[in-house]
Amino acid sequence: MSEDRVVIVAPSVYDRPDIITLGSQASEVEACIKSFFNPDPLLGRVTEEKFRNSLNDPAVGCWIIGHSEVGADGGLWLSDGKVKPVIIGHYFFKANLSWAYLNTCNSEQFIIELQAIHPCYILANIAEIDDAEAGRNGLLLAQAMAETGDILAAYNWVAKGGQSRLRLFPPQIYNEGMRNSEESSFDKDLRRLKQIVFGDPDAGLSSLITIIRNINLRLLRIEIALLILGIILAIFVFYASITRWRQDQIINFLRSIQPTPTEQFHPYLPDEFR
């Protein structure tokens, strides 16, 4: 399967007759994004099994057009029923998605539960909107994708002016707040060990590798400084010894040519008196 695959989920048939079909925009979305991605549409009757199977293979993104409900019994409506956000998160994890677009009504609650399972970029509507606005947001985003080929750049283009109720949720935005308060001691120790070894910029902790590298660099600088100092000391000792040797040679030479006292003050005395 292509790694640039984008799964487009747009059910047009529901077992419940009161659910309005929104899948008509799927063909327009597919036409817009195919210049940069490989669309893999799931249209018509989209069951949970088909949805799950489509995400068994790697994909870069998932574009969902449909209806959702929030609350304890909330979920995404597929043709054969609702799928809870946590389950969708596991399917996203299986496909290793980089991003997902939930073009459904009031999908914010989905983000909390989805990103707890698989942190990825998620675009979603943050409030109750009618089907017309949801469809408009989807088409605008698809057209921006056709221009940019990038989901983040497309979102920035659509969200200009701050009037859109479409929002981008970066990966792990909820992870810290959703850590299980009953986290095991092993998990805590493992997390702390990772912080020590790899560092934690948010907590101002440098990685152990960086600390060791800095220590090695400082030791190397000290070794170089000591080496230079040793060379200077050796030169100084050598120069001092040469200077002393020269001084001794000069003194000996001067002594060898210096006349005796009798030669200095009585140069004309006979030899026997010298």
CATH dotted code for 5-169: 3.40.50.1460
35-57 per-position pLDDT tens digit: 788 889 998 899 999 999 999 99
pLDDT at site 180: 45
pLDDT at site 173: 47
List CB contacts of 36: < 8 A, sequence separation 6 or more: 4, 145, 146, 149
More confident residue, 257 or 114: 114
Ranges of each domain in the chain:
5-169
pLDDT at site 161: 67
SS (H, E, C) the chain: CCCCEEEEEEECCCCCCCCCCCHHHHHHHHHHHCCCCEEEEEEECCCHHHHHHHCCCCCCEEEEECCEECCCCCEEEECCEEECHHHHHHHHHHHCCCEEEEECCCCHHHHHHHHHHCCCEEEEECCCCCHHHHHHHHHHHHHHHHHHCCHHHHHHHHCCCCCCCEEEECCCCCCCCCCCCCCCHHHHHHHHHHHHHHCEHHHCECCHHHHHHHHHHHHHHHHHHHHHHHHHHHHHHHHHHHHHHHHHHHHHHHHHHCCCHHHHHCCCCCHHHC
pLDDT classification of 258: cutoffs 50, 70, 90 = low
**Rounded mean pLDDT of 214-222?**
87
More confident residue, 92 or 108: 92
163-173 per-position pLDDT tens digit: 677 888 888 64
